Structures are given as C-alpha cells and as structure tokens.
C-alpha cells in the first residue's frame, strides 16, 4: 500500500521567511502527487499537482514543489511567507491507474509577524 509521510505536524515561520514543508511517499512507480491547503473551517483546496511534465511545479499563492524521484520526495516551498499562509497543508498521492488518493498526516503552518 502507498504511504505518505509529512515531516513535522507543526511549522512556525516568520512573515517574509522561507516556508518549507516536507513530503515523502512510498511507491515503486512515480505516482500523481498533490498538495492541498485547508484554511480554518473550510474544506481542502488544491495548491498544485505533479503531472510528470516537469519536476518543478508551480501552484497558486506563490507556492511551488519539486519532484525528486531518487529521494521519493515532493517538498513544498514558498520563498516569503505571508500571514494569509497560516493553514494546514496536506500532501497526497494517487497511483497512475487508480482512484484512491492517500493523504499524509498534515502540517499546520503558523506565521509570526
């Protein structure tokens, strides 16, 4: 079975600092990879997705993620944190021929002024 590991359940960053959220997956075949964001009292929204067209994927709100096959990783970054980035972030994977999306445990981001 596939699994997704997000390192760190909570991350605290200062406004303007780099945001780095780590995601590693277990899969023998490169899957489809996604990052979702959940703002308080809302459902999840898609931030970005990996499609195998390019290893560096740009998403909404200035976020991007890099797929590294050798490290089975798909880490999410944003160069400069904004107060509005405070939310919970989820990494997810799906097999190429499957319907099931498997989520990591989530990382809650706190942005300090």
Partner 1 sequence: DVKVTQSSRYLVKRTGEKVFLECVQDMDHENMFWYRQDPGLGLRLIYFSYDVKMKEKGDIPEGYSVSREKKERFSLILESASTNQTSMYLCASRKWRGGSNSPLHFGNGTRLTVT
In total, the chain counts a number of residues equal to 113
User: Interface with partner 1 includes 102 (CB under 8 A)?
Assistant: yes
**Binding residues for partner 1, how many (CB under 8 A)?**
28
| 97 interacts with partner 1 by CB under 8 A | yes
Smallest distance, Å, CB 92 to partner 1? 8
Identify the residue among 49, 64, 72, 86 touching partner 1 (CB under 8 A). 49
Nearest distance in Å: CB 51, partner 1: 6
Q: For residue 31, count CB atoms less than 10 angstroms from its CB and return exposed for 0-12, middle for 13-18, buried for 19 or more.
A: buried
Q: Please report whether residue 51 would count as binding partner 1 according to CB under 8 A.
A: yes
Tokens of 93: 């994977």
The reply to whether 101 sits near partner 1 by the rule CB under 8 A is yes
Name the one range near partner 1 by CB under 8 A: 14-22, 32-40, 57-65, 68-76.
32-40
> How would you class 32 by CB atoms within 10 Å of its CB: exposed for 0-12, middle for 13-18, buried for 19 or more?
middle
Residue 90 CB burial class (10 angstroms; 0-12, 13-18, ≥19): buried
């Amino acid at each position: 079975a596939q699994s997704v590991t997000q390192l760190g359940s909570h991350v605290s960053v200062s406004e303007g600092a780099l945001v780095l959220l780590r995601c590693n997956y277990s899969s023998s075949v490169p899957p489809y990879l996604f990052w979702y964001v959940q703002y308080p009292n809302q459902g999840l929204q898609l931030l970005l997705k990996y499609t195998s067209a390019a290893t560096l994927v740009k998403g909404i709100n200035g976020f991007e993620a890099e797929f590294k096959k050798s490290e089975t990783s798909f880490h999410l970054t944003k160069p400069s944190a904004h107060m509005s980035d405070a939310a919970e972030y989820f990494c997810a994977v799906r097999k190429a021929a499957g319907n099931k999306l498997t989520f990591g445990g989530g990382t809650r981001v706190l942005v300090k002024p």
